[in-house]
Structure 1
Amino acid sequence: MQPEGLRAILRQHAGRLPQPLALRGDTRRYTYTQFLDEVERREALLRAEPEAVLALALENGPDALLWDLAALLAGRPCLPLPPFFSPQQRAHCLAQCRVNLAVADSGFSAELEAAGFQPDGHFWRRTVNGGAILPAGTAKVTYTSGTTAQPKGVCLSAESLLQVAGELEAASRSSAPAHYLAVLPLAVLLENLGTYAALLAGACVTLLPQRQLGIQGASGVDWPKLLASVVLSGAQSLILVPQLLLGLVTAIERGHLGPGQFRFVAVGGARVSPDLLARAARVGLPVFEGYGLSECASVVCLNRPGANRPGSVGQPLPHVRVRLAEDGEVLVSGPVLLGYLGEPPFTGPWWPTGDLGEFDADGYLHLRGRKKHQFITSFGRNVNPDWVEAELTQRGTIAQAFVHGEGLPGNLALLWPLDPACTDQVLADAVASANAALPDYARVRAWRRLEVPFSTADGLLTANGRPRREAILARYRSTLLELEHEVEP
């Protein structure tokens, strides 16, 4: 589907009687007619501006979706800035995309001013020499959540984005959810496409600021506030990461709300434990696990009504082909990235995902972990432990650090100090100092002091001093399990 196809569908919804509601914010509501009018008004403003990337530094709310769709219809590449990134990471995104035009909330004013922007009417502006060199056809630059200190910009076409949104709408169509609540930030590509899918279906999208929902940063959740928002919104459909699904299931188990309002709850972004899926099934919550990555326009496989196998991530959606390499790596062909920003365009037939998997006899994909050492937290954030360990060990206090967070709500660390006589408070201060330099999804939430350092002699270090991760996980399994309880919500 091309953007004009989306426009035509929105017009069809606007022609229905009675006039359906398209979008709700904390104080504003739009019918489909009003919604399309507002999108096209912003589209006209963008078409009057010189061609360049538009950055959106906006909290979840009507303006974020209206400007996002305006950019899509205007053919202007759009860069949504993730609120869970650190200011330094957002500055990197602005610099790499050579952004000279932005729409921003007041909370981002100081960052934009520091980057040389000035407010001017609807926009923030600055002068840059030359624009970013984007792959032809780029409609959106979505940054990965940062496997290193400098996240990478994934360039995607409008056709790919809308094709995936269409498949998401088709997958949930039999459930007919009429009210969709956006829980994740719109800068998360999966949530962005979730709102598109809801609009394609003619549903009503509710977009509230993250703090109003009770969500702070990448991992802080005020559960009573979030659950109240879910109930009051009348949400019938949600997209959740595992940690949020855990909170919803626990609340239903405790009788704080019932499962009856929900028709389709998608979960992805990180591994989901079979136990959690079983608990969701026992309380009657219609949960469907999926799998994807930004480089493949977010969604590759998805369980759905009539084709749901808990423990798998579902069968590949119709728009992609998926096969396994000889070593079990998942390879995807279909709507994949045009390229990374600043790198040559991607022209290969198969995208290597870095994930290991296997198909069962009925074509359901079961994931078996990552090829490399990077892990994904239970909030769906990619973290390379080398990055965090470097922050911990390059501040003059900590000699060795091992960081683990796969599928967890907070990262754990095992530490050995440079001075074995230093106090635990000195180590705590060093961890706090490192955390201050990291975005919240990469910070260490709990740590334990080692009794002896890692060494090559005990098989925990390679010959060049790198940690043997699997060996450390096996040796310190009980210690890490104890630490997990310290970061449980």
Structure 2
Amino acid sequence: MNAGAVLLEALGTSPERVITAAGSLGDVALAGRVRALAGRLDQAGLRRVASRMDNGLAWLELDLALRLLDGVHVPLPTFFSSEQVGHALASSGAQAVIVADGTPLPPGQEGLEAELADTGLDGWRVGAPALALPDGTACITYTSGTTGRPKGVCLDAAGLLAVAGSLVQASSAIRPRRHLCLMPLSTLLENVAGLYATLLGDAQIALPSLAEIGYTGASGLDVPTLLKCLHRYQPESVILVPQLLLALVMAAEHGAPLPASLRYIAVGGGRIGPALLARAQALGLPVFEGYGLTECASVVCLNRPGAQLAGSVGQPLPHARLSIDEGEILVDGVRALGYLGGEALPDGPVRTGDLGHVDADGFVHITGRRKNVFITAFGRNVSPEWVESELLQHPALAQAVVWGEAQADNVAVLWPRRPDLDDAVIAGALAQVNAGLPDYARVSRFVRASAPFSAADGLLTANGRPRREAILSRYQAEVDASYRRPASVPIAGVAA
């Protein structure tokens, strides 16, 4: 039985499996639509398909149909630039791009409305040459990277289902009955944990559009719209990146009610500062921090009911085995088949590039990225993720990238939470954060970004992590100029 059959087999007779703004769809109808779409794709000879669609029922149906066909899905984020889309299509050898019915097609392209009639989908064929993929490839997902050309990672369906099964087991004590997808479905984490694990766990999937969630453009978020979405769908589980968690915490601290239905908030995609976790816990939010990476088909570790430790990313899930080599975390178990272009993963456990340790109780602690650690002029190693997570707990600061390689002090490239905040307010905010940091980690100067970091301009990854090399390159002149001036941030509220 292939992955598509397994996922459809998990369906029962629920009359409300998928919930959208347009209504709900039951198990029998969903299975019928998926099988019908798989037949249409098969007749059209489409087995390797790229998609570029909003969150919704059509995305889910296409993905399940390709799983049923043992096909290859290449989900393209909606924020990808035309250059990135072109690179993804050429590098993956996709036969067609599938979009929602009614989406304008590129000039001169003939649509697929005849082949995909009555499916809610359209698209166009791509004249890319057939490219060899690793045997068993079911999904090609694109890693963050530091350039405008993200790297394609090939994953097999068995690995994706193994991770999803582990997630069902991890949440079994709570067994959430309705999951709300708040991340783009093109994000591997939501695809595996939000769709596959929810189906295997016999729970409902709420699938609002990205606009209904509150996303504006590539990186903006309207918090009142997000809160309205949460109250409308009353989810028991959601997956958040740290920025979304911070937005909810700040809203709740200012008196905005959160739905009482929430029972399982999984958070990953970046380091979460202990102060933010403490604030969430003070509000009674059931937050469970996790950790994963694309090369291991998403989630590797997760805090869970009965096995939770603040400051850790939890214990390894059943499908994963962790070890430490000279401070670097290695993961064995589920792993990618390789990269597009024929590049293979080295034999043995996956070297994550993340620094950390495993305590006596098996909880995993992440301290930073090996390649991001910089060494100050005084020989102190600084993990910028740690400092940045502390900065972003301050209500005045929305985005930050810290650097100080071979410097006597550190600089931050910043975007404030409100663009009208003047430099004195920002300096004061940095001083307050500095008061809780050791001297070698403090930020003594800053550069104001000209605009928020976004995925569209290549400065954020798909799940909101900063592309630090790109950011520092963009603002290199301003960073250099800041070091030609005296330090501008007072320490602990005392003028420098």
Asked if TM exceeds 0.5, the reply is yes
Which digits, 9 at most, give the CA deviation of each residue in 1:30-75, with x for residues without a partner?
A: 1111111111111111222325420111100110111111111111
Unaligned runs of 5+ in 1: 386-401, 411-426, 459-474, 483-489
Q: For residue 69 of structure 1, what is the aligned residue in structure 2?
A: 64
Instruction: Report matched runs for 1:287-366 at 5 Å.
Output: 287-326=287-326, 328-346=327-345, 348-366=347-365
Q: Could you say if the C-alpha distance between residues 220 and 280 of structure 1 is closer, same or farther in structure 2, counting changes exceeding 3 Å?
A: same
Instruction: Name the stretch that deviates more: 37-46 or 177-186.
Output: 37-46
Instruction: Report matched runs for 1:140-155 at 5 Å.
Output: 140-155=139-154
Measured after TM superposition, the shift of residue 5 of structure 1 is 5.3
Which residue identity does 2:90 align to in structure 1?
A
The DSSP-based 3-state class of the residue aligned with 1:300 is strand
Measured after TM superposition, the shift of residue 477 of structure 1 is 9.0
User: Residues of 2 paired with 1:160 and 1:405: CA distance?
Assistant: 39
Measured after TM superposition, the shift of residue 238 of structure 1 is 0.1
Residue in structure 1 matching 2:98, options 92, 100, 103? 103
User: Residues of 1 paired with 2:357 and 2:75: CA distance?
Assistant: 34
The answer (yes or no) to whether the contact 1:252–1:259 under 8 Å persists in 2 is: no
Measured after TM superposition, the shift of residue 248 of structure 1 is 1.4
The answer (yes or no) to whether the contact 1:435–1:444 under 8 Å persists in 2 is: no
The normalised TM-score by structure 1 is: 0.77
Which residue identity does 1:338 align to in structure 2?
L
Q: For residue 268 of structure 1, what is the aligned residue in structure 2?
A: 268
User: Residues of 2 paired with 1:480 and 1:181: CA distance?
Assistant: 43
Q: Could you say if the C-alpha distance between residues 37 and 134 of structure 1 is closer, same or farther in structure 2, counting changes exceeding 3 Å?
A: same
Measured after TM superposition, the shift of residue 10 of structure 1 is 2.8
User: Residues of 1 paired with 2:487 and 2:131: CA distance?
Assistant: 46
Which residue identity does 1:158 align to in structure 2?
A
Measured after TM superposition, the shift of residue 222 of structure 1 is 0.5
Measured after TM superposition, the shift of residue 166 of structure 1 is 1.0
Measured after TM superposition, the shift of residue 209 of structure 1 is 1.1
Which residue identity does 1:63 align to in structure 2?
A
Q: Could you say if the C-alpha distance between residues 259 and 208 of structure 1 is closer, same or farther in structure 2, counting changes exceeding 3 Å?
A: closer
Work out the percentage of aligned pairs sharing the same amino acid.
Answer: 40
The answer (yes or no) to whether the contact 1:52–1:131 under 8 Å persists in 2 is: no
Q: For residue 111 of structure 2, what is the aligned residue in structure 1?
A: 119
The DSSP-based 3-state class of the residue aligned with 2:41 is helix
Alignment partner of 1:157 is 2:149: no
The DSSP-based 3-state class of the residue aligned with 2:17 is strand
The DSSP-based 3-state class of the residue aligned with 1:301 is strand
Q: For residue 280 of structure 2, what is the aligned residue in structure 1?
A: 280
User: Residues of 1 paired with 2:270 and 2:247: CA distance?
Assistant: 15
Q: Could you say if the C-alpha distance between residues 476 and 178 of structure 1 is closer, same or farther in structure 2, counting changes exceeding 3 Å?
A: farther
Measured after TM superposition, the shift of residue 130 of structure 1 is 2.7
User: Residues of 2 paired with 1:352 and 1:476: CA distance?
Assistant: 38
User: Residues of 1 paired with 2:9 and 2:418: CA distance?
Assistant: 39
Measured after TM superposition, the shift of residue 169 of structure 1 is 1.3
User: Residues of 2 paired with 1:269 and 1:343: CA distance?
Assistant: 27
The answer (yes or no) to whether the contact 1:10–1:36 under 8 Å persists in 2 is: no
What is the CA RMSD across the aligned residues, in angstroms? 3.8
Which residue identity does 1:130 align to in structure 2?
P
Which residue identity does 2:42 align to in structure 1?
R
User: Residues of 2 paired with 1:477 and 1:219: CA distance?
Assistant: 29
Which digits, 9 at most, give the CA deviation of each residue in 1:187-227, with x for residues without a partner?
A: 00001112211111111111111112111244311000110
User: Residues of 2 paired with 1:184 and 1:451: CA distance?
Assistant: 36
Which digits, 9 at most, give the CA deviation of each residue in 1:282-331, with x for residues without a partner?
A: 111111000001111000000000000010000111101110112x1111
Measured after TM superposition, the shift of residue 108 of structure 1 is 6.0
User: Residues of 1 paired with 2:250 and 2:450: CA distance?
Assistant: 31
Alignment partner of 1:50 is 2:48: no
The DSSP-based 3-state class of the residue aligned with 1:120 is coil
Which residue identity does 2:311 align to in structure 1?
G
Which residue identity does 1:152 align to in structure 2?
K
The answer (yes or no) to whether the contact 2:47–2:66 under 8 Å persists in 1 is: no
Q: Could you say if the C-alpha distance between residues 451 and 339 of structure 1 is closer, same or farther in structure 2, counting changes exceeding 3 Å?
A: closer
Q: Could you say if the C-alpha distance between residues 314 and 404 of structure 1 is closer, same or farther in structure 2, counting changes exceeding 3 Å?
A: farther
User: Residues of 1 paired with 2:412 and 2:80: CA distance?
Assistant: 19
Q: Could you say if the C-alpha distance between residues 2 and 335 of structure 1 is closer, same or farther in structure 2, counting changes exceeding 3 Å?
A: farther
Measured after TM superposition, the shift of residue 105 of structure 1 is 3.1
User: Residues of 2 paired with 1:321 and 1:217: CA distance?
Assistant: 38
Unaligned runs of 5+ in 2: 117-121, 374-383, 393-398, 402-410, 420-446, 461-466
Measured after TM superposition, the shift of residue 103 of structure 1 is 1.3
Q: Could you say if the C-alpha distance between residues 255 and 43 of structure 1 is closer, same or farther in structure 2, counting changes exceeding 3 Å?
A: same
User: Residues of 1 paired with 2:299 and 2:456: CA distance?
Assistant: 32
Instruction: Report matched runs for 1:214-293 at 5 Å.
Output: 214-258=214-258, 260-293=260-293
Aligned length: 422
The normalised TM-score by structure 2 is: 0.76
Residue in structure 1 matching 2:26, options 28, 31, 37? 31
Q: Could you say if the C-alpha distance between residues 236 and 76 of structure 1 is closer, same or farther in structure 2, counting changes exceeding 3 Å?
A: same
User: Residues of 2 paired with 1:236 and 1:46: CA distance?
Assistant: 35
Measured after TM superposition, the shift of residue 344 of structure 1 is 3.1
Measured after TM superposition, the shift of residue 137 of structure 1 is 0.3
Instruction: Report matched runs for 1:160-175 at 5 Å.
Output: 160-175=159-174
User: Residues of 2 paired with 1:216 and 1:120: CA distance?
Assistant: 29
User: Residues of 2 paired with 1:93 and 1:481: CA distance?
Assistant: 48
Instruction: Name the stretch that deviates more: 232-241 or 245-254.
Output: 245-254
Alignment partner of 1:368 is 2:387: no
Greater helix percent: which structure? Answer: 1
The answer (yes or no) to whether the contact 2:354–2:370 under 8 Å persists in 1 is: yes
User: Residues of 2 paired with 1:209 and 1:177: CA distance?
Assistant: 21
Instruction: Report matched runs for 1:76-95 at 5 Å.
Output: 76-95=71-90
Which digits, 9 at most, give the CA deviation of each residue in 1:368-425, with x for residues without a partner?
A: 100113988989xxx9x9xxxxxxxxxxxxxxxx88579x999xxxxxxxxxxxxxxx
Measured after TM superposition, the shift of residue 144 of structure 1 is 1.3
User: Residues of 2 paired with 1:453 and 1:229: CA distance?
Assistant: 42
